[in-house]
Structure 1
Amino acid sequence: MNRRQFIQMGSFLSVTAATLGLSACGGGGGGGNSGASDGAFGQGVASADPKPDSIILWTRCAPLSGAPDSVTLALDVSTTADFANLVVSQPLTALAAWDYTVRNKVTNLKPSTTYYYRFRSGGATSPVGRTKTAPAAGTPVSQLKFAFITCQDWSVNHWAAFDELVNQDLDFIVHLGDYIYETVGAGFQSSGGETRHTTLRLPEGKPAAKGGFYASSVNDYRYLYRSYRSDSRLQALHARFPFVHIWDDHEFSDDCWQDRENYIPGEDSTTQGPRRRSANQAWYEYIPADIDMLDVKNPSFQNLKIYRSLAFGNLASLVMTDERLYRADHIIPESAVPGGASEIGSRYFVPTASLSQVEGLKMASATAGGLDPLSNVSILGNAQRQWWKDQMSASTATWKLWGNEVSLLRMGFDGTRAVAALLAQGLVAGVQSGLGIDLTAQMATLTGALYQDLAAANKSGAQPVVTYTNTIAALGAVPTYGGALAAAFPGQLQPDLDASLPPSLFLGKFVINADQWDGYNAERKDLMAHLKKNAIGNVVALTGDLHSIFAGNVCDDYDAASPTPVMVDLVTAGISSNSLFSYFKSVVDSSQAFAKAKPLIYTTNNDGSINNKFNTTLSSFNGGWMKFVETDAQGYAVVTLTPARLTCEFHKMKPTVAGVAPALPASSVIATVTVNAGSPAISVQQ
């Protein structure tokens, strides 16, 4: 075996063993390929998946002119920033077949060591990258500090978060997906972003049903990655810290499952294999990760396995799961929604009883067919689910971290109780203004009475028919004024109550988002049962996707009389994506069916400013496990981990001003969450 090992895999993926005492190759590529050209490094550099003895290094070396088959370049790695102490000086080749991207796995490195790296081609030299290997296996580690981020929409808000993060003292960054958004010019991207981000135009994009265009080919997806990676702030962050990446939905298609898209209700009945494979290839080219080679000869859309685990001494293990490529269809398909195919009732605002019933039927069908009962109601798929359990059982680290795309928290909503509270508020206000009687002291009693009446209402039609038996009794029992209130009810009070009633479909229990783990409850319970049965503690999920900030407990069974906390879920807001609050505000503003729920989402002050009521609404219906909620935010999270505790600071970004990102500091810490080792209990300081 040579002193300096080099194994080339299709030129794109290569492995180099570090060796002390090297001298730099002169000039550019040094590869001896006379048919290749020199190139430039317009997308910067990156490192990923730090292990005790290896790291993945990445760049794109675009040709200076034309479109040659290949470009020659060289990689230097050093223990010093001036590259005086080289451990790698290796010629490489960037191929047009991989859009001139290269990834090199450098092995034989020392644990817990900082390295510097650069790429050279002709007279061009890339920015210098800095990376750090993980501590050796089993080594005592006193502290780790890392950030976790997600959802960086080019067209919305700003990327000043990257300027802040690059100045942090971090060991690594976990990216939970939505690195790109596959749509450009869509309705949700119309609120405006930074003027420094030019308008994107997909080379082969297809028109989207709700406006704009979506990526449909490998050229489209490559264009998006090239564009996103052209931002100097993102480049600087990649050059500063190693990343650990996973994808979510927008790297392929919004709310996708396997190779299915969901732009139009019901269209996910059609496979999109070529498009999914294109998305896989572009992700593999532009996102460095220590994974097996993309199998371009495999005709399946499942031609790339990205779930994997890393370890950081004896302090932490990190499990990264893929929650899109293997997941089953949403439990209630859009085509099965009563009244016609719709995302409402399938992916969003789904009746809890219907969800549970259909999930049970699917599990029974799988069992009858000789399959694992979770086969058709799974996010992870059978193989990955078993792998996850094995990883959790085998880890001897103090903390078991889970890079998890979609939230594990129950986000339920009791429409009947919510409407009862709103009707009671309106009734008290109406009695005060119309009859001059103050019923503030009776608010709780009236809310309970209205809840009973709504629960007993006839909901067979589009609008509920309510008799108000309990409400009339509660009014009649008010001291001094009972008789007057009962007499006024039929002609004066009831018409206002009836006019305030929402459609019948609103009166029930729902989960607000069945695209996340709430929509795959049986598998969530199975995972929690594994942790609980095997006494596996200190498990914390690092979650993205939801465009909000949440902290809470994942319980063994949210539907039990007394759910038991098993682990913790920490959800960071998106770097720049529109918030969850803005989505629900648009729903109640634009949908007649949900218009009467507006007070549950927001109220408006006399000066036109908005009060966010959605935080309180979610907290009130999920108070047993939801410890912090901020639904209107962009931001990121920074975790400090020690053997004794995990501390997470949630940062919320300031908004753009006239298309310009705010000056630093561009964020504030709105909550600090602490989890002590040995218990899933959460404390929050605001």
Structure 2
Amino acid sequence: MIERRTFLRLGLAVVPMLGSSACSDDAQDRTFPQGVASFDPTPEGVLLWTRVEGGGRVRHEVATDPDFKSVVASGEHEVSADTDGTLRVDVALAAGGTYWYRFVAHGVTSTIGRTRTAPARDADVPLRIGLASCQDFGGRWFHAWRALVDRDDVDVVLFIGDYIYETIGHLGVKLPSDRTPEVPDGLVLEDPLKGTVAALTLADYRALYRQYRHDPDLRAAHAHFPFVMLWDDHEFANDSWGDHATDFDDYYGDEGNPERREAATRAWHEFNPIRQSGDTTQIYRSFRWGRHVEIILLDERLHRDDHLVPEGPIDKEVGHIQMNSAFGARTFVIKDAFDAREAAAAPTMLGATQRAWAIETVTASTATWKVLASPLIMAQMVLDLSAYERLPDMFRNRFYFKTDQWDGFRTERRALLEACGSVDNVVVLSGDLHGFYAAELYADFDAATEPLAVEFGVSAISAATVDVQLAAVVDANPFLEAFGLGELIPQFDANLLATNPHIRHADSVTNGFAIVELGPQAVDVRFVAVDGVTTPSGRARSEVAFRTRLGSRRIEAL
């Protein structure tokens, strides 16, 4: 691999057109405003991507050196408004190689991107992953991406969901003008916690991707590393299932909206190309890296059942005491009452087809490490508020923090983990919750059994962390504030660790990313904390590290 300092000098600099003078930064930004990117590397090649403002004729070039003295692939393409000017090119390349690529359109040459192909399936090489999720552009900055680029020490980035946020101004935050996303159509919202407007049309979702991808730090990350992508909910709508949104007000209920779902799906594929059979609704797939790693990428939104507890009516048995609220329906749900309902209904998150595929892929894999890429946290997360005397009786109970994640699908989780537990070295990588978590996974978290796998959950690149979200909800709800729930927020992680001994680490107040190294003898995970996400300046400040050794189903702190 070329030395890091050489790429930093060449990879993001102005590059010369073939046979002509260099292009200006302004010309590049006008022609290629979202930069360049690569996706889904295999031993046979990689997907290259760019977006050309105004469309037209585009040429791609791939070389084995950053000066393009040895061009190994090239071609010309026509892009149009039908794909919003985006272009994906599947380029055949040799296994285990590092390559540089660029595009030429309208007489302008793009910045140089660097990518790499996966090694041969029997190659004895480790894999270093940059694990990331949940990047919110509104009033927040992507310092985490700059920190990852400056490290320059990963092979691929695994982005595990919430690449965009479909609502603007959520959590009631007033946004600075230069970090306020805009959509041409939009759906007006009434609840300030949910935002002022939500993306509704294809034009809206495309506009969000264009604005996010124009961020210089995100563009730099895409130019440096190939990405492997999954979606979660905010690429469509909060806590979504199938084509249903769950935000609830006079305008925006939980009815299905196939047109909106189709628009969100199309825009995601335009800006985040993946390898698929042609069915845009099937994004679950596997990713192999040499002898040691196979990643099973799960879609936990499109094929799932509805949440068991509806937001609308009051349902005190599970703690739902306010109409049209997620509180008691999907967050802070009374565990014992919910467990009985879940056992009777046995809802699915994956759907029968995907679940069977996932189990077959894990159990048949010959890789040393079988990695489940799960956008949602798999470990049980229970909060025990029974000892807090100030709370009224209805709150002095044990609660699931969120039943939108795997705690709401206990029966299927058990079946999946029991099947995966029949083989060694299963690791779950997850996101969504905006905190860092490390946990050992059990078929039954309430029984004295042995763990079947381990999980590492990554925090948000920039989205509000758990403590910030909880504070916003309590502050906006006098009913909750009156009972002193706000005072419990600083105790969230301590309660989580005390109530859930399988959780070995919890940090619900820090943004950042993770570095995951999978080798022949161990998996090492580093959680990298990033400060200052609500300001234009920020930095990576600290790391905590964990290890799971080959053949173990336990987590060690390093």
TM-score normalized by the length of structure 2: 0.89
Shift of the 640–314 alpha-carbon distance from structure 1 to 2, 3 Å rule, reads: same
Partner of 1:174: 158
Q: Structure 1 residue 580: deviation in Å? A: 0.4
Q: Distance in 1 between matches of 2:105 and 2:461?
A: 33
Structure 1: gaps (5+ residues)? 1-23, 28-38, 64-69, 295-302, 364-376, 424-499, 603-611
Which residue does 2:35 correspond to in 1?
44
Distance 1:336 1:555, change over 3 A: farther
The aligned residue for residue 99 of structure 1 is 84
User: Residue type of the partner of 1:239?
Assistant: A
Cα-to-partner distance string for 1:246-295 (whole Å, 9 max, x where unaligned): 0011100011111111111796541111000000000010112112335x
Whole-Å separation in 2 of the counterparts to 1:135 and 1:101? 28
Q: What residue is the counterpart of 2:294 in the other structure?
A: 317
Aligned-pair Cα RMSD in Å: 2.1
Structure 1 equivalent of residue 269 of structure 2: 284
- Which residue does the alignment assign to 2:408? 519
2: CA distance, partners of 1:273 / 1:40: 33
> After superposition, where does 1:121-200 map in structure 2 within 5 Å?
121-141=105-125, 143-167=126-150, 168-190=152-174, 197-200=178-181
* Cα distance between partner residues in 2 of 1:310 and 1:357: 37
2:171–2:472 CA contact under 8 A, matched in 1: no
* Paired letter, 1:542: L
* Residue number among 524, 530, 541 corresponding to 1:653 in the alignment: 530
Aligned to 1:637: 514
- 8 Å contact kept, 2:139–2:180: no
Displacement of 1:26 in angstroms is 7.5
- The residue identity in structure 1 corresponding to 2:186 is G
Matched, 1:677 2:554: no
Q: Is 1:667 matched up with 2:543? A: no
Corresponding residue to 2:50 among 59, 70, 79: 59
Q: Distance in 1 between matches of 2:441 and 2:481?
A: 29
* 8 Å Cα contact 1:130/1:239 also seen in 2: yes
One-letter amino acid matched to 2:223: A
In 2, the alpha carbon distance for the partners of 1:71 and 1:617 equals 57
User: What secondary structure sits across from 1:673 in the alignment?
Assistant: strand
| Aligned counterparts, 1:296-315, within 5 A | 303-315=280-292
AA of the residue aligned to 1:53: E
Contact 2:232 2:375 in 1 (8 A): yes
Name the SS of the counterpart of 1:62 in structure 2: coil
Which AA in structure 1 matches 2:102?
R
> SS of the residue aligned with 1:512?
strand
For 1:226-237, what aligned pairs fall within 5 Å after superposition? 226-237=210-221
Alignment map for 1:322-337 (pairs within 5 Å): 322-335=299-312, 337=314
- Determine whether 1:395 maps to 2:284: no
Structure 1 pair 269–528 and aligned structure 2 pair: CA distance change class (3 A)? same
Q: CA offsets per residue over residues 146-200 of structure 1, 9 Å max, x none?
A: 210011100143211111111222111000111111111223544x57x7x4322
Q: CA deviation at 1:399?
A: 0.7
Do structure 1's residue 619 and structure 2's residue 497 form an aligned pair?
yes
Please point out which of 197, 208, 230 is paired with 2:189: 208
Partner residue in 2 for 1:529 = 418
Q: Secondary structure at the match of 1:166?
A: helix
The separation in 2 between residues aligned to 1:200 and 1:269, in whole angstroms, is 24
Tell me which of 308, 330, 352 is aligned to 2:335: 352
| Deviation digits for residues 195-215 of structure 1 (CA, Å, limit 9, x no counterpart) | 7x4322210011123231000
- The superposition leaves residues 25-63 of structure 1 with CA deviations (integer Å, 9 ceiling, x where unpaired) of 879xxxxxxxxxxx8211101001111111000010112
CA contact (8 A) 1:601 1:617 kept: no
Is contact 1:600-1:617 (8 Å) kept? Answer: no
1:507 aligned onto 2:396: yes
Sort the Cα spacing of 1:597 and 1:619 in 2 relative to 1 into closer, same or farther, 3 A.
farther
Match of 1:220 among 192, 204, 211: 204
Q: Confirm or deny: 8 A CA contact 1:599 1:613 kept in the other structure.
A: no
Residue 547 of structure 1 aligns with an amino acid whose one-letter code is H
- Whether the aligned pair in 2 keeps the contact of 1:50 and 1:133 (CA below 8 Å) is yes
Aligned partners of 2:173 and 2:205: how far apart in 1? 18
What is aligned with 2:8?
Answer: none
Secondary structure of the structure 2 residue equivalent to 1:131: strand
Say whether the 8 Å CA contact 1:547–1:572 is kept in structure 2.
yes
Deviations along 1:449-502, whole A, 9 cap, x unmatched?
Answer: xxxxxxxxxxxxxxxxxxxxxxxxxxxxxxxxxxxxxxxxxxxxxxxxxxx3x2
Partner SS for 2:42: coil
Deviation by residue 1:279-335 (Cα, 9 ceiling, x = unmatched): 0000010112112335xxxxxxxx521111111111100111111111111122223
In the alignment, the residues of structure 1 paired with residue 473 and residue 214 of structure 2 have an alpha-carbon distance, to the nearest angstrom, of 34
Name 1:469's counterpart in structure 2.
Answer: none
In structure 2, give the amino acid aligned to 1:213.
V
The amino acid across from 2:49 in the alignment is W
CA distance in 1, matches of 2:254, 2:308: 14
Q: Secondary structure at the match of 2:256?
A: coil
How far did 1:83 drift?
A: 1.2
Residues 402 and 408 of structure 2 are in contact (CA less than 8 Å); yes or no, is this contact kept in structure 1? yes
- Helix, strand or coil for the counterpart of 2:41? coil
- Residue pair 1:156, 1:576 contacting (<8 A) in 2 also: no
> Is it true that 1:386 corresponds to 2:356 in the alignment?
yes
Distance 1:563 1:599 in 2: 35
Aligned mates of 2:172, 2:408 — CA distance in 1: 23
- In the alignment, the residues of structure 2 paired with residue 634 and residue 566 of structure 1 have an alpha-carbon distance, to the nearest angstrom, of 28
Which ranges of structure 2 fall in alignment gaps of 5 or more residues?
A: 1-16, 21-29, 316-320
AA in 1 matched with 2:438? A
> Which amino acid in structure 2 is aligned with residue 530 of structure 1?
A
Partner secondary structure for residue 334 of structure 1: coil
Counterpart contact for 1:116–1:130, Cα < 8 Å: yes
Give yes or no for contact 2:146–2:217 (8 Å, CA) kept in 1.
yes
In 2, Cα distance between equivalents of 1:265 and 1:681? 44
Letter in 2 for 1:578: A
Normalized against structure 1, the TM-score is what? 0.73
Shift of 1:130: 0.6
The structural deviation recorded for 1:593 is 3.8
Give the partner amino acid of 2:229: H
Equivalent in 243, 247, 256 of residue 259 of structure 1 = 243
Match of 1:585 in 2: 471
Q: Which SS does the other structure have where 2:179 is aligned?
A: coil
Match of 2:26 in 1: none
What secondary structure is seen at the aligned counterpart in 1 of 2:75?
A: strand
* Residue 243 (1) aligns with residue 227 (2): yes
The alignment of Structure 1 onto Structure 2 pairs a total of residues equal to 522
**Matched residues, percent identical?**
33
**Cα offset for 1:346?**
1.3
- Measured in 1, the distance between the counterparts of 2:479 and 2:156 equals 46
CA distance in 2, matches of 1:160, 1:620: 32
SS in 1 for 2:415: helix
Question: Is contact 1:98-1:285 (8 Å) kept?
Answer: yes
What secondary structure sits across from 2:211 in the alignment?
Answer: helix
CA–CA separation in structure 2 for the residues paired with 1:557 and 1:318: 24
1:511 is matched by which residue type in structure 2? Y
Aligned to 2:23: none
Secondary structure at the aligned position of 2:452 is classed as: strand
**Residue 362 of structure 1: CA displacement?**
2.0
Query: Max radius of gyration: which structure?
Result: 1
- Work out the CA distance in 1 between the residues paired with 2:301 and 2:492: 28
Look up the match of 1:567. Answer: 453
Secondary structure of 2:203's aligned partner: helix
| 1:46 partner SS | strand
